[in-house]
Amino acid sequence: MSDGTVFEVAGLSFAYPGHAPSLVEVSFTVAPGERVALLGANGSGKSTLLYLLDGLCFAGSGTVTAFGQALGEAVLDHPPFGPRFRREVGFLFQNSDVQLFSPTVEEELAFGPLQLGWTTEEVRARIEDTLALLELTHLRDRRPQSLSGGEKKRVALASLLILNPSVLLLDEPTSGLDPRSQGLLARVRPRARAERGAPARGGPAAAGGAERRAPARSAQPGGCAPALSRRCGAHARAPRRSPRPVPSPPGRGLG
């Protein structure tokens, strides 16, 4: 993918069906290595903007360009750009429950790599590294649904980091985390790719402590409905998991 601008947003406006505009004429760019925080009141459009950057919703007017390619349903549905974009951009939802569906934490982390055809040895090694990085090793055999809110968020983040995305879009990443876990997250974001042998190309993150802060501009607060499927209406794209079945379970199955 392009080594130039990561995201370029130009004249972006968006409204959910039946609601006043959530975003009006938003423009900015994000360069490789930048960390950007979106600051604003509840309902000001922060999550909506992240959905648009991740290709889960599409602009009513204006453009969102990622890695030099304007985002749209057609380009995201087809190779080569679509699969590459999904590998490069990781999205952490505010509600971790929408991302966790596997029977165990270990299987949750194995799902993405197995879908990408990684070898058993590589999957096992990356699971061990990622569990250790986020201090989740002792939870590997637990059901994600039985974990605390903070633990779920760390597992959801681990399921992204294991794939080495070059860009992380984080929606309320510290929500539900205790101070220790918040500190761990702050250390992990800039370190994770380098520690796992990938180039340290940090991406934008909606989190505190960023180097550049961009207040979200809202036409009117309260334009977001409670669920993504209802939020985006005809523009909605659910987060995708490949329909191809997992070839083998992790853990003991990988041994």
pLDDT reading at 194 higher than 50: no
Domain count, the chain: 1
Q: In this structure, is residue 226 part of a structural domain? A: yes
| pLDDT at residue 115, as a whole number | 87
| pLDDT at residue 231, as a whole number | 37
Q: In this structure, is residue 93 part of a structural domain? A: yes
Q: In this structure, is residue 152 part of a structural domain? A: yes
Q: In this structure, is residue 52 part of a structural domain? A: yes
| pLDDT at residue 117, as a whole number | 87
| pLDDT at residue 63, as a whole number | 96
Q: What is the 3-state secondary structure (H, E, C) of the chain?
A: CCCCCCEEEEEEEEECCCCCEEEEEEEEEECCCCCEEEECCCCCCHHHHHHHHCCCCCCCEEEEEECCEECCHHHHHCCCHHHHHHHHEEEECCCHHHCCCCCCHHHHHHHHHHHCCCCHHHHHHHHHHHHHHCCCHHHCCCCHHHCCHHHHHHHHHHHHHCCCCCEEEECCCCCCCCHHHHHHHHHHHHHHHHHCCCCCCCCCCCCCCCCEEEECCCCCCCCCCCCHHHHHHHHCCCCCCCCCCCCCCCHHHHC
Q: In this structure, is residue 153 part of a structural domain? A: yes
Q: Which residue has the higher pLDDT, 32 or 180?
A: 32
Q: In this structure, is residue 1 part of a structural domain? A: no
Which CATH number characterizes residue 27's domain?
Answer: 3.40.50.300
Q: In this structure, is residue 24 part of a structural domain? A: yes
Q: In this structure, is residue 2 part of a structural domain? A: no
pLDDT reading at 29 higher than 70: yes
For residue 123, the enclosing domain spans 7-254
